[in-house]
Amino acid sequence: MSRDEQLKQRWELLVNKLSVQFADGDTLDLDAIIYLIGVQELGQIHRRFKKDHKLDLMHIAICRLLEPYGYYEFDFFDDDGWPHYKVKEQLPHLKAGEQSILMKEAIVNYFLEAEFIE
């Protein structure tokens, strides 16, 4: 099986599993999954977040997801428990489709590492 086909199958499995668990079966999109990862990384799962915090959570998730690729590095937790990252390397300019593939790959790897999917 090609790497692209394996990524596609794992992505579909992950979306289905997360959608059942967090959206009553409605299909979660990429942004919703990134948001969930941000909440997970913050560790304040039962808290309600305002719109500006939702963007911060997505930023946390993106930093965490791209950390293994060498783009970000964890720096510290602030007094409120929010993780902060520093940029190690600027992201390359990618087309929208390439960005989507990179994020899907990073998300699949994140959930493989967490043993949420195989």
Mind listing the pLDDT tens digit for each residue in 51-108? 889 999 999 999 999 999 999 999 999 999 999 999 999 988 999 889 999 999 999 9
Delimit the domains of the chain by residue range. 3-113
Q: Using CB atoms within 10 A of its CB, is residue 36 exposed (0-12), middle (13-18) or buried (19+)? A: buried
Measuring CA to CA, which residue among 107, 116, 114, 115 is closest to residue 11? 107
With CA atoms as reference, report the closest residue to 88 among 69, 60, 113, 61: 69
pLDDT at 88: 97
Is the predicted pLDDT of residue 3 greater than 90, yes or no? no
Say how far apart CA 32 and CA 3 lie, in whole Å: 24
- Exposed (0-12), middle (13-18) or buried (19+): which is 5, by Cβ within 10 Å? exposed
**pTM score, two decimals?**
0.92
Which is it for the CA torsion 74, 117, 11, 1, positive or negative?
Answer: positive
